[in-house]
Amino acid sequence: MSTLIEAPLADAAEIRSTIEYYNSQKWTDGLPVVPVTESYLSEFLARTSRDPDEILFTMPHLNRSLTIRLAAINAAMAGCLPEYFPVVLAAWEATAAEPYPKRGIWQSTTGTAPLLIVNGPVRERLGFNSKGNVFGSGFRANATLGRAIRLAAINVFGLHPHQLDQATQATLGKYSACIAENEEESPWEPLHVEHGFDPADSTVTAMVFRSNLHIEARHTGSPEQLGLDLANSIRRTGALLHETSSALVVLGPEHAQLFARAGWGKDDLRQFIFDNSVNSREDLVAVGKDALSQHTRWRLPSGHPDAIPDEASATDTPDLVPALKVPSSVVIMVAGANNAGVSAIIETFGRRGDTPSTVKVQDHG
């Protein structure tokens, strides 16, 4: 802390006053933000050749749009460095390719939030964390990139809690949710290469997610046993809001390497999870999720006046109900430290086997 004493002196009272002014205007997520001047903003805009008035993202139902200039202001407020801004732009473009925020899912009572995944050389160059504590604190690039999206959601689209944001309980990811893939300790090709990018490309992938479920599995060297742990976590009835679910499987390096040593690739694991993410009709009846709403396709009891049979009812095995639509409903990546048998299931919203939304980072700085 001695370096703070040696730093150039500033008027602390004036800085605090500016921060409190931003707070009084409801321009924050509850935490202090960085005050932004025109000169500081220009450093962000210098990192792209695009017009500051270009629209990046629109929520038609709110009749509100995010421009590059507004994205830069909120990135600066979030604590991003100017050199992060090309990654912020890629994050917004990837988010714009996801249909669900445009339809208001960020306002939902289910408490969904954007999740960003960074791949490629930019991870090391800008200091994105892909290893220990990957979902936690301590890394400016991760924390501020995710926060840049959240602040714009608040300040540009008006998604304030208790107002346009109607989340019942929400998720901690509403502050910031940004991770990088641990490509170096993965036995497989990284996420962006799997989806058609060059290994030398830097990319951001965007998803909408509802929760992060911790998987503790240090007890086995069997890929089948570990695979069942993952499948059973995905198919849990509490996660079944719609007819089927979807998931991002974030494997710790130890778990990924366990599968690889057994000769399993990503497609093998995806298929195994799909085949075993199945609930019995009896279990669904017990929790009142054995049928669908004919309007929303959400699960509800078969005795409900809005109920219709689910797709499994018309198959040869009506008493076995898949929790996933297709194997590609499961996205697989590797992140975290190589120090324990720990992975995570991220419950994603709306993905039914479509390719994740991934955008290449373009740096003109």
| Predicted pLDDT at 2 | 40
Q: How many CB atoms lie within 10 A of CB 205?
A: 27
Q: Which has the higher per-residue pLDDT, 197 or 108? A: 197
Q: Does residue 152 register a pLDDT over 70?
A: yes
Domain limits at 338? 12-277+323-360
Smallest CA-to-CA distance from 353 within 325, 333, 334, 332 is with 325
State if pTM tops 0.85: yes
Q: In this structure, is residue 305 part of a structural domain?
A: no
Are the CB atoms for 266 and 190 separated by under 8 Å? no
Q: In this structure, is residue 307 part of a structural domain?
A: no
| Predicted pLDDT at 364 | 65
Whole-Å CA distances, 339 to 120, 221, 286, 288:
23, 15, 39, 40
Q: In this structure, is residue 289 part of a structural domain?
A: no
Tell me the sheet residues that pair with 298: 242
Q: How many domains is the chain partitioned into structurally?
A: 1
**Per-residue confidence at 27, pLDDT binned at 50, 70, 90?**
very high
124-137, pLDDT tens digit by residue? 999 999 999 999 99
Q: In this structure, is residue 1 part of a structural domain?
A: no
Q: Mean pLDDT over all residues of the chain?
A: 93
Q: Which of 103-107, 109-113, 341-345 has the lowest mean pLDDT?
A: 103-107
| Predicted pLDDT at 235 | 95
Q: In this structure, is residue 80 part of a structural domain?
A: yes
| Predicted pLDDT at 279 | 96
**Per-residue confidence at 4, pLDDT binned at 50, 70, 90?**
very low
Q: Does residue 1 register a pLDDT over 60?
A: no
265-316, pLDDT tens digit by residue? 999 999 999 999 999 999 999 999 999 999 988 999 999 999 999 999 999 9
| Predicted pLDDT at 300 | 95
185-239, pLDDT tens digit by residue? 999 999 999 999 999 999 999 999 989 999 999 999 999 999 999 999 999 999 8
Mean pLDDT confidence for 57-74: 95
Pull the structure tokens for residue 20. Answer: 């409190």
| Predicted pLDDT at 124 | 97
What is the spatial order of strands in the sheet that 291-293 belongs to? 299-300, 291-293, 307-308
**Per-residue confidence at 5, pLDDT binned at 50, 70, 90?**
very low
30-43, pLDDT tens digit by residue? 999 999 999 999 99
Q: Does residue 96 register a pLDDT over 70?
A: yes
Residue 21 CA to residue 14 CA, distance in Å, equals 10
Mean pLDDT confidence for 71-90: 98
Q: Does residue 3 register a pLDDT over 50?
A: no
| Predicted pLDDT at 102 | 66
Q: In this structure, is residue 248 part of a structural domain?
A: yes
Smallest CA-to-CA distance from 336 within 139, 181, 118 is with 181
Q: In this structure, is residue 315 part of a structural domain?
A: no
Residue 204 CA to residue 358 CA, distance in Å, equals 6
In the block, residue with structure tokens 């298929």? 271
**Per-residue confidence at 106, pLDDT binned at 50, 70, 90?**
confident
Q: In this structure, is residue 316 part of a structural domain?
A: no
